[in-house]
Structure 1
Amino acid sequence: MSKWFKPFVLVNIAILIISLNNGQTTFAANTDIKVPRSAANVTKENTYPNPTQDLPELQPGGLAKQLLNSSNVKIENPNLIRMFNESYVSKAPFAVGYNAKIFLGVWPLNYESNETTINWQYKKINTNFLDNRGEKAYRRIKYYQNSQQIVKGGLTAKVRNADDVINLMMHDASEKTTLPLAFQTVVGAGTKNERVYNVPPKQLGYLYAYAPAVNEKGKVTFGEVYLILKGNKRTLQVKNVVSQGVGAWIPVQDYVSFGYFASPHPR
């Protein structure tokens, strides 16, 4: 998050108390993305307990709602909204002629999604192998995670206020896909799945496991945010608004996608 407050001006008789911090908001849901049959939820089997990444919904309070409604640009950044929720500006009985303009910093204000897709084979995390070349009957192979794997996502290009942008994008993608998303997920060693793959006689069986990830693309809007105090009226003004295209890979937590291949020759 950017530096949002530098002490500026406090003028004569007005009583002004502002306390500013950080937080979250709500995004609208869209269409679900179906999980293919090649993928499995391994939450229960995963030997590494990933922390849940649920993003709580935050409703703007009285002052926050008033400020958001007064803004000339739509504001959805949860950190900025919580800052307003935790702010207080007292009414001054003798505030006639009082004016103040307070710079709150350059913020990512909102994010608009253009495309949300999933690569179910984002990163190969495991290979199970069975040599059945010397046998005359089918043999079975199952998924077993040989070593712990950490899968990381991230923005595809550098952007200012990266943490705020990531939160905006992840919240939007989570609502659209209804999948558990996190910018880092771990598949622990010893994680298994009971699906069976048959290896024919005189064949080598290869069972590959992949970590899936959402590819989120869209546009983030930035602007300089000012708190305007005029008498007892409080409003927001956003200046120097710019939009920037952004993209991110966001791993799907506790899901594994499988790919099976049988061959008479080693791969």
Structure 2
Amino acid sequence: MGKVRSFLILILSLLVVLIAASTVMANERSGQSKVGNYKIPSSVLNVAKENTYPNPSQDLPKLQPSELTKELLETSNVKIENPDLILMLNESSISKPLLAFRHHATIYLGNWPLNYVSKETSANWEYQKINTNFYDNRSGKAPYKIHYVQEMQKIVKGGLTAKVPNASDVKKMMLLKATEKTGLPLSFDTIIGAGTKKDQYYNIPIRKLGYLDAYAPAINEKGTITYGEVYLVLKGGKKQISVKNVTSQGIGAWIPIQDHVSFKFNAVEMPR
């Protein structure tokens, strides 16, 4: 039995290795690589190490509700995911006198964006042009190698596609959801510093002009944001969250992919 078990374990291990290898080969054949949960084209390169401007990390850890906040969120008639509202509840306390048997109070906490539901997440690998490297090899006697060098510092900004109340809260929730879905380093603001370069060369044939265009890629996030008036209700020794006047609206956002550049190379006979 021991030999049979060892043989089966060996076979299973080989199958795992073969499946992993076939996945890698499929990605290579399609010209794509995988970062996090998202496949990106081979023309898009990570320049985090080469970037002369160190972008701050946009990691947004999911805020954990306190025990009191958990109890309150479970009583809400609408799902609440807004990290700023959860933080406010975490920092609140309810003393025992307020929970007296005959005490009754309704406290208005404000009109909040409560949750964001993602419906579509897609990539635009050429969201914004940031640089062009050029060389004229029409009089050259041999092919000329060109590579990417960022000529000027470039600030790439994203944003919401429409004006909405509490825009900063909405952006935070959309950023969290898009990052979770793609696994990519996303930020509404990112910078590519002057002098950033990548040692990937492109050949310009003789009698040709070469253009190497660089683009900042971005994620287009679309979904629905839900708003509501939030009340804390204390009655008969019980506490709960009540949400009134609930409204929903569609919203979209462009969120740049941090420290990534998409390249497009063209060799032409005439200046463009």
Aligned-CA RMSD value: 1.1
Alignment of 1:115 onto 2:120: yes
Q: Distance in 2 between matches of 1:213 and 1:142?
A: 23
Alignment of 1:78 onto 2:83: yes
C-alpha deviations, 1:182-231, integer Å up to 9, x for none?
11000000000011100000000000000001000000000000000113
Alignment of 1:142-221 (within 5 A): 142-221=147-226
Q: Does the 8 Å CA contact 1:92/1:232 hold for their aligned counterparts?
A: no
In structure 2, relative to structure 1, the CA distance for the partners of 1:243 and 1:94 (3 Å cut) is closer
Gaps of 5+ in 2: 1-35
Shift of 1:94: 8.0
Q: Distance in 2 between matches of 1:232 and 1:250?
A: 45
* Amino acid of the structure 1 residue aligned with 2:126: Q
* Amino acid of the structure 2 residue aligned with 1:103: Y
Q: SS state of the match for residue 39, structure 2?
A: coil
Match of residue 4 from structure 1 = none
C-alpha deviations, 1:139-169, integer Å up to 9, x for none?
1000000000000000001100000000000
User: Between Structure 1 and Structure 2, how many residues are aligned?
Assistant: 237
Match of residue 16 from structure 1 = none
Q: Distance in 2 between matches of 1:164 and 1:211?
A: 25
Alignment of 1:33-52 (within 5 A): 33-52=38-57
More helix by share: 2
What TM-score, normalized to structure 2? 0.85
Spell out structure 1 runs of 4+ moving beyond 4 A.
Answer: none
Q: Distance in 1 between matches of 2:215 and 2:113?
A: 33
Q: Distance in 2 between matches of 1:250 and 1:209?
A: 18
* Amino acid of the structure 2 residue aligned with 1:160: P
Instruction: Give identity over the alignment, percent.
Output: 62
Alignment of 1:136 onto 2:149: no
Shift of 1:137: 1.1
Q: Does the 8 Å CA contact 2:99/2:238 hold for their aligned counterparts?
A: no
Q: Distance in 2 between matches of 1:96 and 1:64?
A: 21
